[in-house]
Structure 1
């Protein structure tokens, strides 16, 4: 059964600054508690990542993912192929400028390979959303300073 999680926050930065931070996938292990490694396999003509190989660790379980990124003016999406731990994954960042701030909405759907107890699922969602939003906000703010 697919698991969904989402969070929305305001970040004091432009959509471009946020997307630039997300595009720097090689830096993910330095600010995301989930990522152990991230390697860009190929890029779009504008230099943004297209296919990325990552190693993630969540709740003591390590998984290797092959992600396909897609980019728009105010959004970014990735999809993961099947791995040992999951049947698939889809994640989206949607950015809405509001004056000097940007509303950032992150949505993720993961289809685990096996059932996960509710208490572990709740904890995993919190960890993923913390990395995807709160740590992203810290990284964007640090990059601006």
Structure 2
């Protein structure tokens, strides 16, 4: 999956606070509209999530999927949290990441995503769907962190 869609937003908070919200998977249903249930299936020795199962209901798209996480973050929250799909009914693959970098106005969060569905889809439509997912996720994250 070479093609990825990417977007960024600046959130008025420290990288550590932003990463704390991103890493608190069990609370996603309270602020991420399409996420209905979350279960951390496996944790690393330090307590961070290693595998997480999500139940998604975005109207026309419903799926339960599991992601494996890789943490390349610093104690201050900067760095990258990435994931790979390990199980899904709708997707063949989903690779993504959040990259957190300090900025003068808080934290620049860059979200990258590449999805491969089990059903055929034109590349242009897939990228548009990825862009919608990314923009919605960043908007909801910013709103939640800054509230």
Among 113, 131, 141, the residue aligned to 1:136: 141
Structure 2 unmatched ranges of 5 or more: none
Tell me the distance in 2 between the aligned counterparts of 1:53 and 1:25.
9
- CA displacement at 1:122 relative to structure 2: 6.4
TM-score, normalization: structure 2? 0.84
Tell me the distance in 1 between the aligned counterparts of 2:142 and 2:67.
22
Contact 2:29 2:35 in 1 (8 A): yes
Classify the secondary structure of the residue corresponding to 2:21: helix
Structure 1 range deviating more: 10-19 or 96-105: 96-105
TM-score, normalization: structure 1? 0.85
Q: Who is 2:82 aligned against?
A: 77
Q: Who is 1:92 aligned against?
A: 97
Task: Output the aligned Cα RMSD.
Answer: 2.2
Tell me the distance in 2 between the aligned counterparts of 1:13 and 1:53.
27
Tell me the distance in 1 between the aligned counterparts of 2:2 and 2:37.
25
- CA displacement at 1:121 relative to structure 2: 4.3
Task: Show structure 1 runs of 4+ deviating over 4 A.
Answer: 117-123
